[in-house]
Structure 1
Amino acid sequence: MTPRGRIGVVAPSYAEYVRCWEKAGHDVIQMAFDQLEDSLQGLDGLILANPNNPDGRWIETQALNDLAETLARQKAWLLVDEAFVDSRPRYSLLNDALPANVMVLRSVGKFFGLAGVRLGFVFADAAVRSLLARRMGPWAVSGVARWAGKQALNDSRWQQQTRRKLPRQIDRLTALLQQAGLTVTGGTDLFVYCQTPEAAIIHEILAQRGILVCRFEQPAALRFGLPPESGWKKLQEAMNKIPAGITLR
Structure 2
Amino acid sequence: MRDHGGNLDQAMAIFGGDDWIDLSTGINRVPYPVPALPSRAYTDLPTRSAMEGLLAVARRTYGLKDAAIAALAGAQAAIQTLPHIIGGPKRARVLGPTYNEHAASLRQAGWEVQEVTTIAELRGADLAVVVNPNNPDGQSHPATTLLALRQEVGALVVDESFADPRPDLSVVAHLGAPDLFVLRSFGKFYGLAGLRLGFVLGAEAQIAQIRQMAGPWPVCGAALAIGQQALADTRWQQQTCARLHEDVIRMDSLAQRAGWQRAGGAELFRLYETPDATGAQTRLARARIWSRIFPWHPRWIRLGLPGSAQEWARLEAVLTGEGQ
Common topology (TM > 0.5): yes
What letter matches 2:198 in structure 1?
G
The match for 1:19 is 104
Correspondent of 1:60 among 112, 124, 142: 142
After superposition, where does 1:123-202 map in structure 2 within 5 Å?
123-202=201-280
**CA deviation string 1:79-113 (max 9, x = no partner):** 00001100021211113344422100001112111
Alpha-carbon distance in 2 for matches of 1:66, 1:113? 33
Amino acid at match of 2:312: W
Gaps of 5+ in 2: 1-83
Within the candidate set 294, 297, 306, 1:227 is matched to 306
SS at match of 1:122: strand
Name 1:8's counterpart in structure 2.
Answer: 93
CA–CA separation in structure 2 for the residues paired with 1:198 and 1:18:
27
Shift of 1:46: 0.7
Aligned to 2:209, what secondary structure does the other structure show? helix
Whether contact under 8 Å (1:195, 1:219) holds in the other structure is: no
Tell me whether 192-201 or 228-237 shows the greater mean CA deviation.
192-201
Q: Say what the alpha-carbon RMSD is for the aligned residues.
A: 1.8
Residues 14-63 of structure 1: per-residue CA shift (max 9 Å, x gap): 11112222222221100002xx324422x210111110111111100100
* In structure 2, distance between residues paired with 1:241 and 1:145: 41
Q: TM-score, normalised by structure 1?
A: 0.89
Question: TM-score, normalization: structure 2?
Answer: 0.69
Secondary structure of the residue aligned to 2:281 is: helix
- Equivalent residue of 1:148, what SS? helix
> Which sections of structure 1, spanning at least 5 residues, go unmatched?
245-249
Of residues 136, 141, 161, the one that matches 1:83 is 161
Secondary structure, aligned partner of 1:110: helix
Letter in 2 for 1:135: M
Matched, 1:48 2:130: yes
Q: Distance in 1 between matches of 2:253 and 2:286?
A: 23
Structure with the larger RCO, 1 or 2 (CA within 8 Å, 6+ apart): 2
Corresponding position of 2:81: none
Distance 1:25 1:207, change over 3 A: farther
The residue matched to 2:151 in structure 1 has which SS? helix
Q: For 2:317, what is the secondary structure of its paired residue?
A: helix
- Counterpart of 1:119? 197
Percent of aligned positions that are identical: 36
Give, in angstroms, the shift of residue 8 of structure 1.
0.6
